[in-house]
Amino acid sequence: MNILAIETSCDETGIAILSLQDDKKIKVLGNALASQIDLHAQYGGVFPAMAKRAHAEKIIPLTIDALTQSSFLNLSNSNLGEENREKISSLCHKEQEMIEPLIEFFNNYQKPEIDYIAVTVGPGLEPALWVGVNTAKVLGAIWNIPIIPINHMEGHIVTAVIKEEEKDLYSLEKLNLPSLSLLVSGGHTELVLFDGLEYQKIGLTRDDAVGEAFDKVARMLGLSYPGGPAISKLAALYRLKSLENPIILPRPMMYSSDYDFSFSGIKTAVLYTIRDMTDGNTRELNSEEKESIACAFEDAVVEVLLHKTFKAIDEYGVQSLILGGGVASNTFLRESVSKKAENFDRKIDLYFPKPILATDNALMIGVSAIWQVLQDKIKTSAPENLVADGNLSL
Ligand code: KG4
Ligand code: ZN
């Protein structure tokens, strides 16, 4: 069974071709990704309208790239009929710039050996999501292939639970339940319980997402977008010096009775700290000062995340802890989770995504569809019923 997966929820355009083999292993046949990081770096964040335009520009070339990697593309010698051209125009009436390239694509290539199209329908930036959703609708309608709508957050969860057997070959691990997922990305900070049947969101951020806080603090320190990796690098340099950090930032909501988070307070505290250290912003921070702020910030964020996560593990009898989302590639977070789990009073299985798969990509969307197939939970959608939902919940 072959799946073509599409991801466009934020600032990465991704197309992946996966095959579920008879032995239940997942073979990656093609994987194409275009990052908009350079585009958004100059503004320090993602602008939805610009993200949408960039997705629309890249999605067809990436589809050709991924299908070519899979050796699934064969040239066609017949052109699309009038009815199909009209179908494309009507499905892409909000992405006018995609109509001609799509028609050319179908004129050039035959239907590939794809059984399902999996596409992120939310959560994310709605204009960006629609590019992927409308592409899926067109491919599904013209090739007559069923579409599986995928929740981006489920993609982050499932990506942590795959084991790399060899290059481009994965298997899905059997999860001990209940599992708890700590989902930390640029748009989300959530604690999600899973009992094998349903997801239950037990906590979420009340303001900024963790990745967003990383990005904003990075901007204050003059570091480029996305800020997570840059902050993490400075913090690690400071830890190597084994100094006592004179900066201690607040741990908002750490001891609140619920499982919610708040990160905007830490960010504001960083702003005031920088102002005080630079005599009212009259001088630049030196590199050691930047490192100490990055370290204090990472310490505060990780301590709050860990405290709430392990409180939930204890209360809900959690057997498996899954880390997902872009911030899950943070080394200090991974090491701190591992250390805390080692010292916990019972054994907990830990699942971390391969760092390169922690940030957005299409492979995670295809794997999520395969996870549904293997659990007999697959729900396909007719192209006309497919909608993008920026606030989609698990
Ligand atoms: O999951 P993702 O690729 O996109 C969203 O769905 O939001 O996450 C992107 C976020 C960005 O905010 C980025 O700064 C953060 O993940 N990030 C990190 C690291 N790598 C990426 N944050 C902390 N440490 C990292 N190493
Ligand atoms: Zn994401």
> What is the pLDDT tens value at each position of the chain, 394 positions in all?
999 999 999 999 999 999 999 999 999 999 999 998 888 777 767 888 899 999 999 999 999 999 999 999 999 988 999 999 999 999 998 899 999 999 999 999 999 999 999 999 999 999 999 999 999 999 999 999 999 999 999 999 999 999 999 999 999 999 999 999 999 999 999 999 999 999 999 999 999 999 999 999 999 999 988 899 999 999 999 999 999 999 999 999 999 999 999 999 999 999 999 999 999 989 999 999 999 999 999 999 999 999 999 999 999 999 999 999 999 999 999 999 999 999 999 999 999 999 999 999 999 999 999 999 998 889 999 988 999 999 999 9
| Listed residue (326, 18, 317, 283) closest to 153, CA to CA | 326
Q: Which of the ligands is closest to the CA of residue 209?
A: 1
How far is Cα 59 from Cα 53, in angstroms, rounded to an integer? Answer: 10
pLDDT at 342: 97
Give the Cα separation of 77 and 181 in Å (integer).
49
For ligand 1, is residue 208 a contact (CB within 6 Å)?
no
Q: Is ligand 1 within 6 A of the CB of residue 11?
A: no
Within 10 angstroms of residue 330's Cβ, the number of other Cβ atoms is 28
Find out whether 205 and 259 touch, Cβ atoms under 8 Å: no
* Angle between helical axes of 210-220 and 227-240 (0-180°, round to 10): 70
9, 129 contact by CB (below 8 A): yes
The response to whether residue 228 sits with its C-beta less than 6 Å from ligand 1 reads: yes
Amino acid at residue number 154: E
The β-bridge relationship of strands 189-194 and 179-184 is antiparallel
Dig out the tokens for 133 from the structure.
């959703």
Instruction: Look at residue 8 in the predicted model and tell me its pLDDT.
Output: 98
SS3 (DSSP) at 376? coil
Ligand 1 pocket, residue 211 CB under 6 Å: yes
Q: Give CA–CA dist 239/318, Å, rounded.
A: 31
Ligand 1 atom closest to residue 227's alpha carbon, by position in its atom list: 14
Identify which of 280, 253, 283, 248 has the alpha carbon closest to the alpha carbon of residue 265: 253
Ligand 1 centroid vs 348 CA: distance in angstroms? Answer: 25
Whole-number Cα distances in Å, 259 to 247, 252, 301, 315, 344 = 26, 12, 14, 11, 19
Q: Which residues pair with 163 in a beta bridge?
A: 171
The pLDDT score that the predictor gives to residue 343 is 96
Ligand with smallest separation from the Cα of 218 = 1
pTM, two decimal places: 0.94
Q: Is 186 in the pocket of ligand 1 (CB under 6 A)?
A: yes
Cβ of residue 226 lying under 6 Å from some atom of ligand 1: yes
**Contacts (Cβ under 8 Å, ≥6 apart) of 100:** none
Q: Residue 320: its pLDDT value, please?
A: 98
Q: What is the pLDDT of residue 43?
A: 76
Pick the ligand that lies closest to the CA of residue 155.
Answer: 2
The reply to whether ligand 1 has any atom less than 6 angstroms from the CB of 353 is no
Strand partners, 13: 34
